[in-house]
Structure 1
Amino acid sequence: MNDALNRLPAFSFVWPTMLWLLVFVVLLGTSYVWLDRRRQRVRAHHPALKTVGLGIKPGAPWRRHVAPALFLLALTTLIVAIARPQAVLMLPSRIETVVLALDLSGSMRAEDVAPSRLRAAQQAAKVLLDAQPAGVSVGVVALAGTAAVAQAPSRKKDDVMKAIDRLQPQGGTALGNGLLIAITTLLPKLSADAAKLMNEDNAPKKLAAPASPATPVPGAAPPLGSETPVAPGDYKAGAVVLFSDGESNAGPEAMKAAQLAASNGVRIYTVGVGTTEGVVLKVDGMSARVKLDEKILKAVADTTGAEYFRLEDAAELKKVYQALNARLAFDKRDQVEITALFAALGALLAVCAGMLSMLWFGRVM
């Protein structure tokens, strides 16, 4: 559906054949110019007629052209309205649920983003939470070596805020698990598909002869999410926002979770927390350089029809929040008829033309 809208012209008409009426505007404009020049020639031959009945103050000859010009513009606008114009616009989305997934892995202790990656992610999540309308439910998923729902979707912002504040760094990173939990929190009907992905990753690997792509395997289950496939991003009632540095060392691949989300229209916005240069992190006597892995975060966002943002310093927090909140608030493109707008504008221009003519000349046109 999104691809179809992208192919639509930004501006079009339901009844484009009615635009031929604009010929009358051209004829009226041409007639006015011809009559005005003829009037000027008559006045040139008869000087006594130059100021008779004009009602125009000396030094303001341009006034006589204002009302006719406004009238022609009003007529043009009304004819465009008759053709029923429509435009593809960004409309307020009817989002009902937002699930915030926060990475609690050890690498999120890094301080290349002050005061630390995790604290910066928590601050960004709280700012985003505070900006949501009262009718939007917000949930929190914590992901590390395992993933769990820290707060079920709720409209009580205080409860969600406390759940975010309680999050502490842990060990391991199961990015795929965290995304699957976030997706099923948003759409519980996908729990079976998510569990299958998790079990496949934990099951022992067996060698098997590859099946021919053209030959279906008898009794094989359809691909996950394929029962009612939809275009990526088509699910407008909710979205997932992931705050992570992109590193993962456990659980199913993040892209498998992204594909499940995409096949059900769920958008996963990703926020990369950290710097690409990274920093040396010391934990329990061991040290390692931890970097922001943007590749996987960008791939997850692109696959699900969402966007990727980077949070690498405190100054970027406001920019990331504004951009992300704008996507959540206005993320519905639709073709809308704007006939009423043109009709109202045409009527307003016609009224202005008549009022100015009465004010300056004591007559309507």
Structure 2
Amino acid sequence: MMFIWPWALGLLLLVPLLIWLYRLSLRPPAESVVLHPDVAMLARASRRAQNWRQHLSAGLYLLALVMAVVALARPTLPVLQADPRAAVVLAVDISRSMQATDVQPSRFEAARAALRTFIRELPEGMRVALVTFSRDAQLVVPLTTDRGRLLEAVDFLDLNLGTAIGDAILESIMALPPLSERAEAPDPRSLASIILLTDGRSLAGVDPVEAAQEAARLKIRVHAIGIGRASDGAVPGLPEQYALAAQFDEEALKEIARVGDGEYFFVDSAAKLKEAYRTLTRQMTWRVRRDEATAVFSLLAAGLLALSLALAQVRRRVV
């Protein structure tokens, strides 16, 4: 913890003085001395009566004063936030094969749920864009920090025919800041990344690996997530003519991630998909911002003071 006005903490030197004055006030005045036939018994009774409860109100009052002094010093606490220069593009497959039900409730609904979680858990200040692709690629939401806008766009996603993975990577590259804006960073790739989610193989457009090579040339990191299955056979929830399109090219996705200096994830459940996005969230570029916490300590001091006065009032009550 750091303080904007650290000199105010000097007031804490008064705490030992307050404790001494409090202990002094507990001593009976000389005028209250009386003769008693059994002094030993009186001393034992006095010791039994003196327990921690009788000092609780004073202790809370002293703690409230300490919190008030800390608040006066204007403390600051570290808060993690995204580097405002950082940007990420979510490239999402919306081909018809995404309606397969081998991932419950379906690949498409699992993807939307994972995207919502990812967007909500984004570090503060992170800029995100949304690109969808089927037979072609489209920028749905340009880079923004408006999570509500992104969530609304995810809710309105709809399926279409085709899978153009290479076009999606190129569209995502155009949505990201140019290399000239990131060139001075120690690692320009840490400020620009693409998270590609697909359940199929590229059937149209530019070769995906060539598109990933273009991203690498521009210092853009590309992560690839394959959802569904990479094996042959019928796919639950899909007509037979979609079977080939619904089996993603795992080797191509691994190569995209390798060339793009990213990670490859194979997911076959909604839980694994959410965990993949969470893993990528933890890799975002963070920086520490210090926020003033004066209000927090002021409220704490007020609460302790109110509790101290309430306990003191209870102890004064005559039954």
1:140 maps to 2:141? no
Q: 1:123 to 1:317 in 2, by over 3 A?
A: farther
Contact 2:91 2:197 in 1 (8 A): yes
Partner of 1:290: 250
Deviation per residue, 1:111-170 (Å, 9 max, x gap): xx96279x63x334422566668xx997433278xx521746695978765654225446
Segments of 5+ residues of structure 2 without an aligned counterpart are 121-126, 143-147, 235-242
Deviation per residue, 1:193-225 (Å, 9 max, x gap): xxxxxxxxxxxxxxxxxxxxxxxxxxxxxxx42
Equivalent residue letter for 1:356: L
Shifted more, 60-69 versus 352-361: the winner is 60-69
CA distance in 2, matches of 1:78, 1:88: 20
Q: 1:161 to 1:48 in 2, by over 3 A?
A: closer
Q: 1:51 to 1:296 in 2, by over 3 A?
A: farther
Partner of 1:166: 160
Query: Among 301, 311, 318, which residue is 1:356 paired with?
Result: 311
Q: Aligned with 1:347: secondary structure?
A: helix
CA distance in 2, matches of 1:156, 1:104: 16
Q: Aligned with 2:301: secondary structure?
A: helix
Q: 1:314 to 1:155 in 2, by over 3 A?
A: same
CA distance in 1, matches of 2:259, 2:78: 27
Contact 1:244 1:273 in 2 (8 A): yes
Query: Among 340, 345, 348, which residue is 2:295 paired with?
Result: 340
Contact 1:150 1:163 in 2 (8 A): no
Partner of 2:226: 273
CA distance in 1, matches of 2:141, 2:24: 74
1:54-203 map, 5 Å = 61-90=51-80, 99-102=89-92, 115=102, 120=107, 122-128=108-114, 139-142=130-133, 148-149=137-138, 151=140, 155=149, 163-169=157-163, 173-174=165-166, 178-185=168-175, 190=178
Q: 1:116 to 1:234 in 2, by over 3 A?
A: closer
Contact 2:265 2:276 in 1 (8 A): no
Contact 1:74 1:346 in 2 (8 A): yes
Q: Aligned with 2:159: secondary structure?
A: helix
Contact 1:182 1:240 in 2 (8 A): yes
TM-score for both structures, normalised by structure 1: 0.52
Q: 1:29 to 1:291 in 2, by over 3 A?
A: farther
Q: What displacement does 1:180 show? A: 3.4
CA distance in 1, matches of 2:21, 2:280: 53
Q: Aligned with 1:360: secondary structure?
A: helix
Contact 2:215 2:222 in 1 (8 A): no
Contact 2:209 2:252 in 1 (8 A): no
Segments of 5+ residues of structure 1 without an aligned counterpart are 1-10, 53-57, 191-223, 263-267, 303-307
TM-score for both structures, normalised by structure 2: 0.58
Cα RMSD over matched residues? 5.6
Shifted more, 25-34 versus 333-342: the winner is 25-34
Give the length in aligned residue pairs: 278
Equivalent residue letter for 1:272: I
1:186-335 map, 5 Å = 190=178, 224-226=179-181, 229=184, 241-244=195-198, 250=208, 252=210, 254=212, 256-257=214-215, 260=218, 270=223, 272-274=225-227, 279=231, 290-291=250-251, 297=257, 310=265, 312-317=267-272, 319-320=274-275, 323=278, 333-335=288-290
Q: Aligned with 2:102: secondary structure?
A: coil
CA distance in 2, matches of 1:253, 1:66: 69
Equivalent residue letter for 2:137: A
Contact 1:70 1:352 in 2 (8 A): yes
CA distance in 2, matches of 1:269, 1:35: 71
Using the aligned pairs only, state the percent identity.
24
Q: 1:130 to 1:83 in 2, by over 3 A?
A: closer
